[in-house]
Structure 1
């Protein structure tokens, strides 16, 4: 399993809802219960004291994401402004760990470099990376900070604009970003008769859709709302594809064996438990209204 602020009109349309579409692929996503089995649950309070954290740079919480950093996860391609869901979550986690906003440093890390083994140039990465068993062999994940559904985006008048089921997509030419759960959704769930197109970025996929080289794009739902409202003329969400009882989740990525994993997970769990994640989702991400489930 393997996508900034939207213009005011778009925000109204999206209910305060990019396009990275970067939910990872490789294997079956862990369930919410599985992702909660990280070392976070065993972290003692004193272990997560700011002064005891094992950091890349002493006194600084270094957070990575890709460039460009897309709406609605970030705003204006400026992760440091605290706007957009993932930027806001990163600062909320930093605060849980005792950091002031001025002590958070943002760096750039490409999606593919983040999910491969080796030392990283960050303490944590936040970039719509789905938690998967395969990826856990190479990196650590925090517990999930967002439960994901995939969506199919097209334009009014396309051959799939009125599709109401997965069967209606079988003859479609679909596209998605390389190495993402969105692409895996095409190949493993939709299983169209035509080979899907693959793109280095969702921006390239959007351009292909505009050129009518493909019939639709598969991408995570919040990015789908952004695409349809802000990037496409006459864009339309065909529908969403549920992950069922074991939802795909985005998690922070850390170096394999990081001493920070437990504490970051503990911070995420605290934010979820107190309702902070839900409030940030309401503020920054589109609701599922207008995106019927495709079965």
Structure 2
């Protein structure tokens, strides 16, 4: 057996370690589909890729066509794009389910918006921008109810108004409407909905997204009377979702903050959630 010099053994071992280390680095690098790929952090260089639901619903997106810029979230998305320096033609839309968007792992979008409430649990898997919308409390009723023609908070004071107990909706009845009969308490929104349908109560208070759903899909003759004046801390906050650790999170948050500061977010909410969706703010 030929004796191999010790110096050559050491060199061979060193080369093997180097090859293994390079292989490990290659296998752990993100795929090209990751939202953090590339030095820019964008999915596609020179483009802003935005995710939304499949389908996307009124009044958040009009006619399930986010590229139109019509609907509250579609308009917000293009406003953020503008703050980031992207022209409308450089925005690309992709679709995902709600659960896919907030699941851990790589994303095929730079940010996604479809009414994602910001929660600590979700923050473990994804990043959020600062909030672009805080839900308001909304009064709904049905055709034929005593509340059908109510136009103001004072019109509700003599009526029976209910909500699920222990919620911000229930608090809003007590603190903002202050009906003569007091807030009517129910164990769940389903119980309160049944009470509205049966005529046990005249109106129901829920958050705005729930109001759109109930009046559009659950209640025969459902009608939104209007939103109660916004009170900070009384509703869920919606944020743009990004991949966990995305290099874009800080930039996107700065864009949202700028839109809040200059009044754009409030203007868009008035245009698409109050006016277009027939959900005026009650006085």
TM-score, reference length from structure 1: 0.59
Checking the alignment, whether the CA contact within 8 Å between 1:55 and 1:61 is kept in structure 2 is yes
How is 1:21-60 mapped onto 2 (pairs within 5 angstroms)? 53-60=40-47
Say which is worse superposed, 71-80 or 146-155, in terms of deviation. Answer: 146-155
Deviation at 1:122, TM superposition (A): 1.1
Instruction: Provide the C-alpha distance between the structure 2 equivalents of 1:124 and 1:265, rounded to a whole number of angstroms.
Output: 11
3-state SS in 2 of match to 1:285: helix
How is 1:1-295 mapped onto 2 (pairs within 5 angstroms)? 53-157=40-144, 168-169=161-162, 193-197=186-190, 220-221=207-208, 224=211, 228=215, 234-237=221-224, 244-247=231-234, 248-286=236-274, 289=280, 291=282
Check 1:54–1:188 CA distance in 2 against 1; reply closer, same or farther (3 A cut). Answer: farther
Superposed CA RMSD: 4.3
Check 1:231–1:142 CA distance in 2 against 1; reply closer, same or farther (3 A cut). Answer: same
Deviation at 1:283, TM superposition (A): 2.2
Rg larger for: 2
Check 1:133–1:226 CA distance in 2 against 1; reply closer, same or farther (3 A cut). Answer: closer
Q: Which has the higher contact order (CA 8 A, sep 6+)?
A: 1
Checking the alignment, whether the CA contact within 8 Å between 2:137 and 2:169 is kept in structure 1 is no
- Please state which structure has a larger fraction of its residues in helix: 2
Deviation at 1:116, TM superposition (A): 2.7
Check 1:260–1:150 CA distance in 2 against 1; reply closer, same or farther (3 A cut). Answer: same
Checking the alignment, whether the CA contact within 8 Å between 1:131 and 1:251 is kept in structure 2 is yes
Instruction: Provide the C-alpha distance between the structure 2 equivalents of 1:232 and 1:132, rounded to a whole number of angstroms.
Output: 29
Check 1:123–1:234 CA distance in 2 against 1; reply closer, same or farther (3 A cut). Answer: same
Checking the alignment, whether the CA contact within 8 Å between 1:72 and 1:222 is kept in structure 2 is no
Gaps of 5+ in 1: 1-50, 175-183, 199-204
Instruction: Provide the C-alpha distance between the structure 1 equivalents of 2:231 and 2:270, rounded to a whole number of angstroms.
Output: 22
Instruction: Provide the C-alpha distance between the structure 2 equivalents of 1:219 and 1:114, rounded to a whole number of angstroms.
Output: 25
Check 1:279–1:211 CA distance in 2 against 1; reply closer, same or farther (3 A cut). Answer: closer
Cα offsets for 1:193-241 (capped at 9, x unmatched): 455559xxxxxx9xx99998xx988764277369758996643336657
Deviation at 1:251, TM superposition (A): 1.1
3-state SS in 2 of match to 1:140: strand
3-state SS in 2 of match to 1:153: strand
Checking the alignment, whether the CA contact within 8 Å between 1:71 and 1:223 is kept in structure 2 is no
Checking the alignment, whether the CA contact within 8 Å between 2:228 and 2:282 is kept in structure 1 is no
Instruction: Provide the C-alpha distance between the structure 2 equivalents of 1:168 and 1:59, rounded to a whole number of angstroms.
Output: 52
